[in-house]
A and B are shown apart, each in its own frame.
Chain A
Amino acid sequence: MAAEAPGLARAKARKPARVLRAFVASAAVIPLVALVAMVAVLLVEALPAISYSGFGFFTSGVWDIGSLYSNAVRTGGVLHLVGAQYGALWLIVGTLESSALALVIGFPIAYGAAVTIAERLPRRLAAVLSLCLEVLAGIPSVVFGLWGVLVLGPILARDVYPTLAKLPDVPVLDVFRGEVGSGEGLLTAGIVLGIMIIPIIAATTRDLLRQVPTAAKEGAEALGMTKRETFKTVQARWIRSGVFGAAVLGLGRALGETIAVALVTGSEIQNPTNIYDTMTTIAATIVSQLDSALTDPTHLAVKSLAEVALVLLLITLIVNVAARLLVRRSARDVALPVGAGL
């Protein structure tokens, strides 16, 4: 008895611990299961579409569910409507184009705002500006879409785009040439998305800036550097890879944005002829095409949407993981340019 007691007590103490540990660990597997299930379900759903479209899915730009008045035909074991053709090229291109534009427009503003919050404003005002970022992040994307399509788009098409289109025909500025259109299109989408990704980039950059050791900044200022020089030599280097990660995070957000884009791009599956032209993205297409896809009795249209959703999922997963790794690594392996010269 006496020899057994401590062991027994320990076993009793360990049992709830082990049960709880198992419970917590099994709950932690939920996200894993959800993600694997998502990829698996979309993949299985998309299999017929993958075998029907093949590699042409990525090289063709025609999205046509076929003639609804024809009988379904079987090609290579896949039931489809006559003339059905699924090519996601312009969706993928449109997604990348609009997200890249969003980054070009949103990143400088977000970076400047982060610098202002972390370096220049007194604490109270900085808190107010941080709150503004939070609220901006909280505005539903459908509201941004509504504003973009009803207010921003028409104003831009009336006042700004005609001026842009008249810019001189030199190498960089010639992207702005062309028919201006109604304000629904690529550039408007880029601007709205740019505003939408400001909060995540700015908040991440602000947090990175706050991690920069004060001693390094004070050292630079003690050398008589101006604020700008201090920033250039200390903070900007310290956060460099993190800022890149923040930008990629913003990119990930822009890639997956759905409703706002569906409202302001004009939702037309085509390669935009100029920067003002209507276009669409993967996410917006899923929303705008689902209704017509449901009318396809062979269900191949829905399966093709699942395929394109899978493409989007994989793109955003890679982008997000890469971004987080960069942000996390940022603070770790930084060498300040001590003795490196300026």
Chain B
Amino acid sequence: MSSTVVPAATETPRLGEGGPTPRALRRRSVRHFTATDALVLAGSLGASASLVWVVFYQLTFLAGAAGYVVCTLAVFLAIYYVANRHLFGRMAAADRVVAALATMAAAGVVTALALVVAWLVAHGYHLVSVTFLTRDQKGVLNTQPASAGGISHAIVGSLEEVGLATLIGAPAGVVTAVFLSEVGGRITGLVRTVVTAMSGLPPIVAGLFIYVVLITELHYGFRGFAGSLALAIMILPNVTRTTEEVLSVVHESLREASMALGAPAWRTVWSVVIPTARTGIVTALLLGIARVVGEAAPLIVTIFGSPAMNANPFSGPQEALPLFVFDYRSSSVAADIERAFSAGLVLVALVAVLFLLARIFSAMKPGTVGRLLRPSRHRRQEALS
């Protein structure tokens, strides 16, 4: 971290008194990273890496890249502290070590993400092909190579289940958010608490709830729709929370302007607040969907899974991508595990696309979505003005 470097007051000689100022005490700008700093950083890193290498690989029989990295980082912090303390004093040293710790944490996040994604891509990409995406697993024996069959049934299943869940959960979620942010009433506090509580609902509990109601009590059977209901319970609070945030940033002056024109409250919400927040609401929906696409837990107990294509979510067991990954992973056959990897990769790609769409929408100016959806009306308005 770049910072003002002033050693503790007690040891500071007054500047300009008694000869030349020591280099380390010269005034420097707050955010300046000097050559000395770079040298100290590189030197500490090099020293720790080589020291730990000697201890790790030459003197003892400890092994492993993970252990090496962890030990190197620990030794680096120690060396970095000592070096900085010697050159710039105690305060600067503490400051830099804390900065280094924070940087390591951030680097740790990126590393974890990179490791998971890189591993998944490395193990999954070679199987992903047009045939893999367009065939199902009907009649495919696990003695056949992994290239036989595909995951079209899981993709179709996932899209249908999540689509239905969105149709059920999202409107309720948006309207609830409108209630919390725009309408209000005696139950506002209660509803907000409930939504808060539900946003951390364990997925398996949502699944078991649907299982108990639909499958053991009503004998509805394992169907895609049962899975949709479980996912809808998970989508609803997420959409509500994000949408409420989006609605709360709609500028108050817009509401006041609408009221001043004589519009009743509902008219203000319908014609001013919601159109302004529309891009944000779409983002909220996409994020809510992205959160549940990868959930396997509620589906395990509600849709059962099936190796054959079943495009009808209202009849018979269905497959879903996360469930496919979970099921095929527990197989003892290498080909099945390979299929699980590739299905996992497709699933992550699907989530990535949803995130990307969410980003695009959230970057749009307010109101753009409406124009995209209804170009004719927009043109009419332009002609009028």
Interface of chain B residues 55 through 80 with chain A (CB within 8 A): 62-67
Counting residue pairs across A and B whose Cβ atoms lie within 8 Å, the total is 285
- Check A198–B198 contact: CB distance below 8 A: no
Given contacts A17-B266, A24-B178, contact A120 B102 (CB under 8 A): yes
B185 to chain A, nearest CB (A): 6
Pick out which of these stretches binds chain A: B17-25, B40-48, B206-214, B364-372. B206-214
In the complex, chain A residues whose CB is within 8 Å of the CB of B237: 31
Given contacts A34-B233, A321-B197, contact A135 B106 (CB under 8 A): no
- Check A20–B119 contact: CB distance below 8 A: no
A325 to chain B, nearest CB (A): 8
In the complex, chain A residues whose CB is within 8 Å of the CB of B212: 41-42, 45, 302, 306
Interface of chain B residues 264 through 299 with chain A (CB within 8 A): 264-266, 290-291, 293-297
Chain B CB within 8 A of A47 CB: no
Pick out which of these stretches binds chain A: B88-96, B127-135, B139-147, B311-319. B88-96
- Check A112–B105 contact: CB distance below 8 A: yes
| Closest chain A residue, CB of each to CB of B233 | A34
Chain B CB within 8 A of A317 CB: yes
**B67, B203, B294, B354: the one within 8 Å of A139 (CB):** B294
| Closest chain B residue, CB of each to CB of A40 | B209
**A37, A113, A131, A144: the one within 8 Å of B106 (CB):** A113
- Check A309–B205 contact: CB distance below 8 A: yes
Chain A CB within 8 A of B248 CB: no
For A, the interface residue count at a CB cutoff of 8 angstroms equals: 97
- Check B296–A141 contact: CB distance below 8 A: yes
- CA separation between A38 and B208, bound complex, in Å? 9
- CA separation between A131 and B106, bound complex, in Å? 12
A280 to chain B, nearest CB (A): 13
Chain A CB within 8 A of B360 CB: no
**A140, A198, A323, A324: the one within 8 Å of B294 (CB):** A140
Chain A CB within 8 A of B329 CB: yes
- Check A227–B3 contact: CB distance below 8 A: yes
Chain A CB within 8 A of B373 CB: no
Given contacts A227-B95, A263-B329, contact A138 B66 (CB under 8 A): no
Chain A CB within 8 A of B384 CB: no
- Check A108–B105 contact: CB distance below 8 A: yes
In the complex, chain B residues whose CB is within 8 Å of the CB of A336: none
**A32, A110, A163, A228: the one within 8 Å of B194 (CB):** A32
- Check A30–B329 contact: CB distance below 8 A: no
| Closest chain A residue, CB of each to CB of B213 | A41
- Check A13–B264 contact: CB distance below 8 A: yes
A219 to chain B, nearest CB (A): 15
- Check A143–B116 contact: CB distance below 8 A: yes
In the complex, chain B residues whose CB is within 8 Å of the CB of A24: 175, 178-179, 183
- CA separation between A147 and B296, bound complex, in Å? 15
In the complex, chain A residues whose CB is within 8 Å of the CB of B3: 226-228
- Check A117–B187 contact: CB distance below 8 A: no
- CA separation between A198 and B337, bound complex, in Å? 28
- Check A143–B208 contact: CB distance below 8 A: no
- Check B120–A143 contact: CB distance below 8 A: yes
A152 to chain B, nearest CB (A): 8
- CA separation between A129 and B294, bound complex, in Å? 22
**A13, A116, A146: the one within 8 Å of B103 (CB):** A116
For B, the interface residue count at a CB cutoff of 8 angstroms equals: 96
In the complex, chain A residues whose CB is within 8 Å of the CB of B109: 109-110, 113, 129, 132-133, 136, 198, 202
**A13, A147, A155: the one within 8 Å of B120 (CB):** A147
**A21, A256, A324: the one within 8 Å of B183 (CB):** A21
Chain B CB within 8 A of A78 CB: no
Chain B CB within 8 A of A319 CB: yes
**B103, B196, B294, B354: the one within 8 Å of A142 (CB):** B294
Pick out which of these stretches binds chain B: A55-63, A69-77, A283-291. A283-291
- Check B236–A163 contact: CB distance below 8 A: no
- Check A159–B64 contact: CB distance below 8 A: yes
Chain A CB within 8 A of B331 CB: no
Chain A CB within 8 A of B15 CB: no
In the complex, chain A residues whose CB is within 8 Å of the CB of B104: 112
- Check A256–B265 contact: CB distance below 8 A: no
In the complex, chain B residues whose CB is within 8 Å of the CB of A120: 1, 99, 102-103
- CA separation between A249 and B241, bound complex, in Å? 15
- CA separation between A108 and B198, bound complex, in Å? 26
Chain B CB within 8 A of A87 CB: no
Given contacts A42-B209, A129-B106, contact A159 B66 (CB under 8 A): yes
Chain B CB within 8 A of A242 CB: no
- Check B4–A226 contact: CB distance below 8 A: yes
- Check A38–B66 contact: CB distance below 8 A: no
- CA separation between A138 and B240, bound complex, in Å? 18
Chain A CB within 8 A of B162 CB: no
- CA separation between A255 and B351, bound complex, in Å? 23
- Check A28–B179 contact: CB distance below 8 A: yes
7 contacts between A and B (CB under 8 A): A21-B183, A27-B179, A28-B187, A142-B347, A143-B348, A283-B297, A324-B196
Additional A-B contact list (5), CB under 8 Å, known A138-B355, A143-B344, A306-B208:
A31-B191, A34-B233, A111-B105, A146-B325, A257-B202
B residues near A (Cβ < 8 Å) are 1, 3-6, 30, 62-67, 91-92, 94-95, 98-99, 101-106, 108-110, 112-113, 115-117, 119-120, 171-172, 175-176, 178-180, 183, 185, 187, 190-191, 193-206, 208-209, 212-213, 216, 233, 236-237, 240, 264-266, 290-291, 293-297, 300-301, 322, 325-326, 329, 337, 340-341, 344, 347-348, 351-352, 354-355, 359
The 4 closest A-B pairs by CB, nearest first: A112-B105, A140-B294, A159-B64, A256-B202
